[in-house]
DNA sequence: GGCTCAAGTGAGACCACAGTGACGG
DNA sequence: CCCCGTCACTGTGGTCTCACTTGAG
């Protein structure tokens, strides 16, 4: 993946499709993801403005550049001058939004270039789902979905505004401004904070253990940039060293057992303390691959000192979650650390049952083993084509031949 | 404990075809 | 060294088949 669209190899890539692991221009993005209902559910986000290969998770206001977690870390974590840079989270989207709709989602992008649509349609459907706004999870089904029938482009803003209510914070009022300091090298933990502030109406839905969707909120973004070039046109090419970035949405599972009305401040404080604890950790892979280190992501830690007795656990490394999954989603690799980092000082932390610990290690090893068989899509274009190919008993058929399964319309020709 | 059988599980094959890379001119 | 044409190979997903595992009798 690089500067050019992975599909057409002509246009500059602008969005990153995580399920396809592909960087696409807006035109190909629409074409590819309008192929069928499944592809429309792919969550996409901006491509990192520096490395041009990873999905951007935050926007650096100072530099007017979208950054993936790695570049964000490299750019802000080790540079004294960059420590004070404010950053904002970037949402994902699904469906086939028009350029105007994209501009609404990413309000800082005021001038999206027109999207060439081979079908001549305008804004087929913009599906903004709760998860897609809040994170980059691959499982949009679990979130509420708002279908913005955007042909007329009417009321979309209203609906988006309503999303703020769902998220529990207005894009304007509660945008996660993220000052960077030395204790926040695990910067993306900032991205966790909004999710931790989930509202009453949705926290149960979010916090349930649904496998891949132990995700986190990224608040809606409402940055303002002068023009399109500021958003997409600048490639700084000083990404420096890469460290694997781990997606927190694949790692987090939240279990909020108490009322959440007052959880925001509490959780924010807790997460910040965790950030500090994690800031000096080594890379996740090195830790996880070391059998001598108890790095079970399922290990739970509780915020015992929190009035609401909130607890948090990590169980995202399922068989379905690949390295790419947690690489993509803005979670510092340091968050996949060993148990000691996760346990806040306190009586409980030293009395973690050995049996539970052993079983946790076993679970982790099993999941890690499963992960090795994760299928990685190497050619998004082939997948896109296969996704629309007709079959007979699961086998591809020649174009024009009789088929019994059509992915596009789920119909059978007999 | 050893054997047989049914049920459950998982891996691999199959298909078409556009994309990819190697190779020679 | 570069360009172009040719050709063999690759990868993609849903379904089926078969080998293997597990549990009961």
A314 φ/ψ angles, rounded to the nearest 5 degrees? -120, 125
What pLDDT does residue A225 have? 31
Give the pair of three-digit tokens for residue A281: 């950790």
Answer whether any strand C atom is within 7 A of the Cβ of A411. no
Between CA A244 and CA A242 the distance in angstroms is 6
Tell me the mean pLDDT in the region A142-165.
Answer: 32
- β-bridge mates for residue A254, sequence order: A312
CA–CA distances in Å: residue A24 to residues A3, A11, A27, A90, A180: 9, 8, 8, 17, 30
Nucleotide nearest to A400 (CA to C1'): B16
What pLDDT does residue A247 have? 32
CB-to-strand C under 7 Å, chain A 327-386: 375-379, 382-383, 385-386
Nucleotide nearest to A20 (CA to C1'): C12
Lowest mean per-residue pLDDT among A1-15, A105-119, A308-322: A308-322
**pLDDT surpassing 60 at residue A308:** no
What's chain A's average pLDDT? 49
**Gap from A122 CA to C18 C1', in Å?**
49
Lowest mean per-residue pLDDT among A77-91, A114-128, A141-155: A141-155
Tell me, what DSSP letter sits at residue A66?
E
CB atoms within 10 A of CB A296: 27
Between CA A245 and CA A334 the distance in angstroms is 8
Tell me the mean pLDDT in the region A13-21.
Answer: 76
Nucleotide nearest to A401 (CA to C1'): B16
Cross-sheet strand order for the sheet of A125-129: A94-96, A125-129, A145-148
Q: What percent of chain A has pLDDT over 90?
A: 1
CB atoms within 10 A of CB A124: 19
- β-bridge mates for residue A59, sequence order: A66, A88
Dihedral of CA atoms A27, A113, A166, A218 in degrees, nearest 10, equals 80
Nearest to A94 by CA among A147, A57, A172, A151: A147
What pLDDT does residue A363 have? 58
**Gap from A253 CA to B20 C1', in Å?**
41
**Gap from A84 CA to C6 C1', in Å?**
58
- Band the pLDDT of A410: cuts 50, 70, 90: low
What pLDDT does residue A27 have? 75
Most confident by average pLDDT, A6-20, A207-221, A224-238, A356-370? A6-20
Instruction: Name which residue leads in pLDDT, A371 or A230.
Output: A371
Tell me the mean pLDDT in the region A252-281.
Answer: 34
Among protein residues, the one whose C-alpha sits closest to the C1' atom of C15 is A394
Give the pair of three-digit tokens for residue A128: 């903004």
Between CA A134 and CA A140 the distance in angstroms is 11
Concatenating the DSSP letter of every residue in A251-312 gives TEEEE--S--TTHHHHHHHHHHHHHHHHTT---HHHHHT-TTS---TT-EEE-TTSTT--EE
**Gap from A8 CA to C5 C1', in Å?**
22
Nearest to A286 by CA among A241, A336, A236, A332: A336
What pLDDT does residue A104 have? 67
Q: Are A329 and A249 in contact (CB under 8 A)?
A: yes
Protein residues with Cβ atoms closer than 7 angstroms to any atom of nucleic acid strand B: A 9, 373, 379, 381-382, 385-386, 389, 391, 394-399
What pLDDT does residue A84 have? 64
**Gap from A386 CA to C12 C1', in Å?**
5
Nearest to A93 by CA among A126, A122, A68: A126
**pTM recorded for the entire structure:** 0.34
């Amino acid at each position: 993946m690089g500067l050019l669209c992975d599909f057409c190899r002509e246009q500059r890539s602008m969005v990153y499709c995580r399920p396809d692991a592909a960087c696409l221009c807006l035109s190909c993005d629409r074409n590819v993801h309008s192929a069928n209902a499944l592809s429309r559910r792919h969550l996409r986000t901006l491509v990192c403005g520096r490395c041009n290969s990873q999905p951007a998770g935050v926007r650096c206001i100072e530099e007017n550049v979208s950054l993936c977690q790695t570049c964000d870390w490299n750019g802000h974590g080790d540079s004294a001058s960059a420590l004070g840079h404010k950053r904002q989270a970037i949402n994902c989207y699904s469906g086939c939004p028009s350029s105007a709709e994209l501009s609404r989602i990413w309000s800082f992008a005021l001038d999206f270039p027109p999207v060439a649509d081979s079908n001549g349609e305008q804004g087929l459907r913009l599906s903004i789902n709760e998860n897609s706004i809040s994170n980059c999870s691959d499982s949009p089904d679990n979130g509420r979905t708002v279908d913005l029938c955007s042909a007329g482009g009417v009321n979309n803003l209203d609906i988006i505004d309503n999303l703020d209510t769902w998220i529990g914070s207005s894009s304007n009022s509660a945008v996660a401004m993220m000052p960077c300091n030395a204790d926040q090298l695990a910067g993306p933990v900032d991205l966790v904070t909004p999710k931790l502030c989930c509202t009453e109406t949705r926290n149960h839905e979010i916090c349930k253990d649904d496998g891949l969707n132990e995700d986190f909120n990224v608040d809606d973004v409402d940055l303002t940039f002068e023009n399109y070039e500021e958003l997409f046109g600048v490639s700084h090419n000083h990404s420096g060293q890469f460290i694997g970035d781990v997606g927190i949405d694949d790692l987090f599972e939240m279990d909020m057992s108490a009322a959440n009305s007052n959880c925001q401040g509490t959780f924010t404080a807790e997460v910040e303390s965790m950030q500090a604890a994690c800031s000096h950790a080594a890379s996740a892979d090195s830790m996880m691959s070391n059998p001598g280190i108890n790095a079970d992501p399922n290990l739970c830690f509780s915020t015992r000192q929190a009035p609401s007795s909130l607890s948090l656990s990590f169980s995202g490394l399922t068989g379905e979650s690949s390295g790419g999954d947690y690489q993509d989603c803005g979670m510092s690799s340091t968050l996949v650390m060993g148990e000691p980092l996760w346990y806040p000082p306190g009586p409980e932390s030293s009395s973690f049952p050995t049996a539970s610990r052993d079983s946790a290690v076993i679970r982790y090893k099993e999941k890690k083993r499963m992960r090795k068989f994760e299928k990685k899509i190497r050619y998004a274009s082939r997948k896109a084509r296969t996704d629309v190919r007709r079959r007979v008993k699961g086998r591809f058929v020649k174009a024009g031949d009789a088929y019994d399964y059509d992915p596009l319309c789920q119909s059978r020709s007999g």
